Amino acid sequence: MRSFRLKYNLKQHESASSDALSNYAILLLFSALLYQAFFCFVNTHFFRITPSLLMLTEIVLLTGVVAFFIRGPISLKMLSLLVLVFANAFLLVIFQQHFDPKTIRNLMIPILIIWLGAQYNNKISPDQLLKYFTYIVIAVGLVEFILPAVYRIFFNVIEYQVATGRASDIAIEYSQGGFSMNGTRWGGRHLLPFLGDHRTSSVFLETVNMGNFGVLIACWGLSKKDIKSGLFFIAAAFAVAVLADSRFASTLITILLILRFLLPLKALEITSYLSPFLILLFCFYLYTPINMDDFKTRLGTTGYYILNFKASEFFGLSNYHYSMFVDQGYAYLIHFTGLTLPLIMWFSFCRLNMATNEGRIFKSLFGVLVAANLAISGDSIFSFKWVPIAWFLLGTLLIKKNNIAKG
């Protein structure tokens, strides 16, 4: 009887702990999606938001994940990766004579959030959660597109971006009606030109991340075994891409569609795992020092920077930061963290054990998204607005053994 009570109490404790973790996971994801819009509203109507307040918000949210991680169950492989991230950062500070907490934060997020997703008890199914996020993004996006004056009453995006250091004061003079600089396609809209030149950013406040979110929900929809069950997400993905007039999103969604239906699963996985190297080879082929806002030159400048790196930069040991690599994610990652750690983390990503074929497909498609994004964008793949949702979804699809994710 005593043994039964002990087991019963342990089971009750584990259930309560799992509920608390899952509740926090839901809070974290909604906060990640909406906190920038909330602070923009506050900046517009109440008081100025500072970059340090944004950083503090992210620290608080991630600290909550760390607290659950410490309580366990701990994945030794994920703990080892976290230790490696901190050790690498400590070593580089000595040589670079500069410390940027973003380098730690960027690489901590996937590790911690994948673990969080692996422990999630499906209180609300991941599928339903992503639908809620999609409803919010499209609903706010439609208000912005159809009733821009109403959207501007709540959100003065350009002033918020200036306050938080995402834009300079002079940008206010060139922005249209309080929207961000990339809120207008000055050369004319690429997708459905009759819709006008405005590009929707919804709760993300930036069209880049709006487009990235569109590709993410396309990955989720395309991963479904029964494609009919994924049609909502695929259709929504194209809607998001059109609202944002995102060339990257529309192009990549089309490529993912082709890969999903033409390649067998094993070939899709191999293509995904090799995609960073294949894309980098293409960047080297397009090698160009010219920095312009189009696909070809963004890819070419990525190749140009990396092929002109000094040996020290490949180890992250350079203390001369001559560029922030705004549109060159591979160069940004290598220059500031070294090549070794990203390679280890990519290998670890490839080794993640998925519970179903749907999980394997999602991981493969998302891997292509990560690889492609790093070639044309500096740090949007590390954005706290949509990236935690992606890593969380991945975590929910892992094989679980004794409630601890393998891999």
CA distance 159 to 205: 11
SS3 392: helix
Q: Quote the tokens at residue 320.
A: 């001369």
**Residue 404, beta-bridge partner list:** 401
Question: In the chain, which residues have pLDDT < 70?
Answer: 1-17, 168-177, 186, 293, 401-407
Helix (H) or strand (E) holding 344: helix 340-350
| DSSP secondary structure letters along 27-66 | HHHHHHHHHHHHHHHHHHHT----HHHHHHHHHHHHHHHH
- CA 159 from chain centre, in angstroms, equals 24
With residue 405 as reference, give the H or E element that holds it.
strand 404-405
Letter string b/e over residues 259-273, b meaning 16 or more CB atoms within 10 A of that residue's CB: bbeeeeeeebbeebb
pLDDT at 103: 84
Kindly state the helix (H) or strand (E) to which residue 240 belongs, with its residue range. helix 231-244
Residue 356, classed as helix, strand or coil, is coil
Q: What is the mean pLDDT of the chain?
A: 87
Residue matched to tokens 């993410």:
216
Tens digit of each residue's pLDDT (9 = 90 or more) over 22-44: 999 999 999 999 999 999 999 99
pLDDT at 2: 46
- Closest residue by Cα to residue 245 from 209, 202, 286, 211: 211
Residue-level pLDDT at 177: 67
What angle is formed at CA 406 by the lines to CA 405 and CA 407, rounded to 5 degrees?
A: 120
Q: Give the position of tokens 């809070």.
A: 27
First to last CA, the chain: 38
Here the tokens at position 231 are 């049609």
Domain boundaries, the chain: 2-405
